[in-house]
Structure 1
Amino acid sequence: MKKYIPNLITLLNVFCGCIATVFAVSNQLEMAALFVFLGIFFDFFDGLAARVLNVQSELGVQLDSLADMITSGLVPGIVMFQLLNMSMSGGWHNGEGASFSFLYLLDFVPLFGFLITLGSAYRLAKFNIDENQVSSFVGLPTPANALLILSLALILQYHNNEMLSEFILNPWFLIFMTLLSTYLLNANIELFALKFKTWSFKDNAVRYIFLIVSAVLLLTLRVLAVPVIIVFYVVAALISNLSAEKN
């Protein structure tokens, strides 16, 4: 019976991704973000449960990637679609989603956001056949990328700053973020995973520093901290890689 527990947790991730998709299509981005966060929570614990129960399986690996494709691949693509639509139509309209009529599809700019979904699919397919990504990742993991994209919508929702809102809803900025996101997903950059083989600070210094700095940023900047943390994650990994090469 215990062998089914991790897969059940993964299916909860799928379920959260489905609900987040419905909210994202309806342009209720705050609720979409909530269920993405919940899905990522389940995504973390399915692997942990599999290791603790010693029931890792190839089925679990494949199911995990399929779940990520929905929660952390499809949903951020829809969110970027909605943000680009807002930028083209003049601002934030929570709950007033884009109409999926044939005439609307002629306006192709918001569809550019689905590059994130395409990049996520490609990244997950590569991950499934790469046997080296165990203690580290090559390219930005899809959950981290999803948090980056969703943070833009949450900043618009919770930070009543006109200048910041205008900056985020600039279509050129959103197109840049789409391209950056798609690149980071598939970049040949080794990024550390938050998996501790031991609790030694010496062996996990970069992980402990990252977690401490992230906690401080979240307490002080709240949702504004999310994009800063993602940037810090990439920079910290690059510094760690350079340090390892020198040694």
Structure 2
Amino acid sequence: MNIKKHIPNLITLINLFCGCIAIVFISEAKYEMAFYMVCLGIFFDFFDGFFARLFKVSSPLGLQLDSLADMVTSGVAPGYVMYSMFANSGHQLGTSPLIPFLGFIITIGSCYRLANFNIDTRQTDSFIGLPTPANALFIISLQLVLDMYSESSLFILELFTNQWVLLVITLFSAYILNAEIPLFSLKFKKFNFKDNMIQIVFLILSLGLIVLFQFGAVPLIIIFYVLLSVVNNMFLKK
């Protein structure tokens, strides 16, 4: 029995398990713990592919498992967080009990992105549209920002408890997941500064933002990632 071929799939299933635990934490309003579990799931999501390439055991089964695990960790979890944010916000969109379910538009957008990623041969060395893990971190971090700054900042409180704002964020999230916007990969192809300059600059600035703003840095990092990719695309065209 070749144990090596099962290691990447086992790692993928651990990612799925982390996503399930994150959902439980979200249901208990323990958003910080949910964020950590999603981060852990994303960590395992990175290494299942790494070990599949290392052991040369990539398979169609592994590809499907990876997408199904990501659907929970990076699709259902952020949708549930946005559902909770809608449910705990004001009633600017009305008093219908169905309004919070708009948060799951993020889950729908994530599902479409993951299915499309599996058949899109263009996304081998880079991404087209925001990857679901990055989107998940962005959405969940918004709740953490609200928890951290709601008492000290009236602007943050009003911003992230306004259902119109949450709706715009939700629709933009579903859009950017599937937008035809090339985004650079964080994988290092060669070990030199010239070929990895954009990745190195991004990682250094991201680290600085985390030191300064902690959880508040996460949405800024994701926005910066998209903007830096757009700027990079403009230079590549020139």
TM range (shorter): over 0.9
1:137-188 deviations in Å (ceiling 9; x for gaps) = 1100000000000001111222342411222111111111101111100100
Aligned equivalents of 1:52 and 1:25: distance in 2? 37
1:112-160 deviation line (CA, Å, top 9, x unaligned): 1000000000000100111121110110000000000000111122234
Q: Name the amino acid aligned to 1:57.
A: S
> Are 1:107 and 2:132 an aligned pair?
no
* Residue of structure 2 in register with 1:216 after alignment: 208
Deviation at 1:199, TM superposition (A): 1.3
In the aligned structure 2, how far is the partner of 1:161 from the partner of 1:76? 25
How many matched pairs?
232
SS of the residue 2:221 aligns to: helix
Is this contact kept in 1: 2:91–2:163, CA < 8 A? no
Q: Distance in 2 between matches of 1:53 and 1:209?
A: 31
Task: Note closer, same or farther for the CA distance 1:113–1:162 as it changes in structure 2 (3 Å cut).
Answer: same
Whether 1:148 and 2:148 are equivalent positions in the alignment is: no
Which of 110, 131, 135 is residue 125 of structure 2 equivalent to?
135
- SS of the residue 1:140 aligns to: coil
Structure 2 letter corresponding to 1:230: I
SS of 1:110's partner is: helix
Structure 2-normalised TM-score? Answer: 0.93
Q: How much has 1:89 moved relative to structure 2?
A: 7.0
Match of 2:152 in 1: 161
Q: Helix, strand or coil: the match of 2:89?
A: helix
Deviates more, 1:42-51 or 1:181-190: 42-51
Percent identical pairs in the alignment equals: 53
- Residue of structure 2 in register with 1:88 after alignment: 90
- Note the residue ranges of structure 2 that are not aligned, 5 or more in a row: none
Partner residue in 1 for 2:234: 242
Q: Structure 1's 29 and 185: CA in aligned 2 closer, same or farther, altered over 3 A?
A: same
- In 1, Cα distance between equivalents of 2:6 and 2:40: 20
1:190 matched to 2:182: yes
After TM superposition, the runs of 4+ consecutive aligned structure 1 residues lying more than 6 A away are: none
8 A contact 1:120–1:182 mirrored in 2: yes
Contact 1:151/1:223 (8 A) holds in 2: yes
1:162-221 CA deviation, whole Å, 9 max, x = no partner?
Answer: 411222111111111101111100100001111111112111111111111111111111
CA distance in 1, matches of 2:233, 2:60: 30
Quote the Cα distance in structure 1 between the aligned partners of 2:90 and 2:112.
Answer: 28
Q: Show the 5 A alignment for 1:24-35.
A: 24-35=26-37
SS of equivalent residue, structure 1 residue 195:
coil
8 A contact 1:30–1:157 mirrored in 2: no
Partner of 2:61: 59
TM-score by length of 1: 0.90
